[in-house]
Amino acid sequence: MTIYAGTLTNHEQRHIAIVMSRFNTLITDALLAGAKEALMMHGVVETNIDVYYVPGAFEIPLVAEKVALTQKYDGIVTLGAVIRGETDHYDLVINGSMSGIAQVGLKTGVPTVFGVLTADSLEQAQHRAGGKAGNKGGEVATALLELLSVVDVI
Ligand SMILES: Nc1c(NC[C@H](O)[C@H](O)[C@H](O)CO)[nH]c(=O)[nH]c1=O
Ligand SMILES: CC(=O)[C@@H](O)COP(=O)(O)O
C-alpha cells in the first residue's frame, strides 16, 4: 500500500490567487491577512500571490473560474463572510457561492479551496477571523498547499 499525503514543504515556486469578497470587509480583510501569512510562512513568495476582490460571496465563483482559466495559478483560495440576516437571503448566497466554488475546482482542475465563513452573527465571524476560533483564512490557505502537493503526485 502506498499512502500519498500532502506536505507543507516545497511551495516556494507556487503562484496563488486569492479571490475574496468585500462584503463584511472587516472580516474578509482579516481572513486575507491570515491567508497571506500562512502562504508566506510555508514559502510562497508575496509577489506570487495575487488578490482579486469581488463585491460579495455570490460573485466569487465567476471570478475564480476566470482566474483558473488563465492557467497562471497553481491554486486558488476563496475568502468571504456571509452573516445571517432576517430572511432566507443567507441560504441563497451561501448555496450559490459554495456550489459555484466547488464547480470551479472540478471543472477547471485548478485546486480551489473554500474559505467563505458562514456565521450567525458578526461576533461569531470575528471569532473565526483571527479571534478565539483561529483564522479560517489561514486554515484554508494551508489546506490548499497540502492539496497541491497531493495533486502534484497524481
Ligand atoms: N449578505 C451577504 C452578501 N450579499 C451580497 C451577495 O453576495 C451579492 O454580492 C449580491 O447579491 C449581488 O449579486 N454577500 C456576502 O459576501 N456576505 C453577506 O453576508
Ligand atoms: C446574507 C444575509 O442574510 C443578509 O445580509 C441579508 O439580510 P436579510 O435577510 O436581513 O435581508
ipTM: 0.94
Q: What is the extent of the structural domain holding 88?
A: 41-119+129-152
Q: Is the CB of 94 under 6 A from ligand 1?
A: no
Tell me, yes or no, whether 112 lies in a domain: yes
Question: Which ligand places an atom closest to the C-alpha of 90?
Answer: 2
Binding positions for 5-amino-6-(D-ribitylamino)uracil: 23, 57-59, 81-83, 114
Q: What is the CATH number of the domain that holds 88?
A: 3.40.50.960
Q: For the chain, what is the mean pLDDT?
A: 97
Q: 23-56 pLDDT, tens per residue?
A: 999 999 999 999 999 999 999 999 999 999 999 9
Tell me, yes or no, whether 20 lies in a domain: no
- Using only C-alpha atoms, the chain has a radius of gyration, in whole angstroms, of 15
Q: What is the mean pLDDT of residues 112-132?
A: 97
Tell me, yes or no, whether 18 lies in a domain: no
Tell me, yes or no, whether 16 lies in a domain: no
Tell me, yes or no, whether 45 lies in a domain: yes
Tell me, yes or no, whether 5 lies in a domain: no
| CA 92–ligand 1 middle distance (angstroms) | 9
Tell me, yes or no, whether 148 lies in a domain: yes
How many domains would you assign to the chain?
1
Question: Which one from 11, 15, 42, 89 is the annotated catalytic residue?
Answer: 89
pTM for the complete prediction? 0.96
Tell me, yes or no, whether 146 lies in a domain: yes
Q: What is the pLDDT of residue 37?
A: 98
